[in-house]
Amino acid sequence: MTLLKTQDLKKHYSNGDTTVHALDGVNLEISHGEFIAIVGTSGSGKSTLLHMLGGLDRPTSGNVTIDGKDIFSLKDEELTIFRRRKIGFVFQNYNLVPVLNVYENIVLPIQLDGKEPHQAHVDKIVNTLGLNHKLNNLPSNLSGGQQQRVAIARALAAKPAIILADEPTGNLDSKTSLDVMGLIKVSSQQFHQTIVMITHNEEIAQTADRVIRIEDGKITGGDSK
């Protein structure tokens, strides 16, 4: 069953007298429970695509449908609420709140939505990611790999329709990168979570169920369905 779909998605920028086609007609379908890697070089459009999929920026034309909703038909405030409830983000720089401990960081998006965490679900995530003994630690007391585990836990805790991961291993050494990717893979399978990850690293990309390639704002390879 299709969870996410883009139709003729375009994003154009003016750069002096020229127009940059950051995205140039992207058509993509992603099914429930898939783990997708989008691969491309710097400037290929992969980050722009991720921002569009997450509703962080609006396209020049085309649309993105997530869980049956055309997200760009929503007004800004509605889109913010939709993002908080339906989309989890994992960034390369972790984006943890430094004054909150690990547990507080994990449940923060749920509490911002005025809800109580589903404790059994949070406990299962914490156990899966090996964070049991770090819940009272501040981010500054964690390694990079541990901070990224917290970011993954935070993304999973709210039970989003989809998780978008932006170069999630970009700041990690090769061994820690593979460890983190193993955890993302396990999380995808254990929680039946749909994950879309962008990366320039071919080895990391091969851990996904499906690899899609983008260059010059167009899908150029892999299986976009």
Region at 57 (left for phi over 0; alpha for psi -120 to 50; beta for the rest): beta
Location of structure tokens 């003729």: 8
Alpha helices in 69-210 (DSSP H): 76-86, 102-112, 119-128, 144-157, 174-190, 202-205
- Cα–Cα dist 11/26, whole Å: 10
101-121 pLDDT per residue, tens: 999 999 999 999 899 999 999
Give the pLDDT confidence score for residue 172 in this predicted structure. 87
The count of C-alpha atoms lying within 13 angstroms of the C-alpha of 123, restricted to the half-sphere facing its C-beta, is 3
Give the pLDDT confidence score for residue 224 in this predicted structure. 53
Q: What are phi and psi of 185, to 5 degrees?
A: -65, -45
Give the pLDDT confidence score for residue 223 in this predicted structure. 62
User: Can you give the residue ranges of every domain in the chain?
Assistant: 2-222
Residues of the chain short of pLDDT 70, as ranges, are 222-225
Domain 2-222 is in which class? alpha beta
CB 201 within 8 A of CB 143: no
Measured CA distances, 160 to 22, 87, 153, 192, 195 (Å):
27, 5, 12, 11, 10
Residue from 59, 129, 123, 118 nearest 90 by CA: 129
Claim: this prediction has a pTM higher than 0.85: yes
Using DSSP's 3-state secondary structure scheme, residue 22 falls into strand
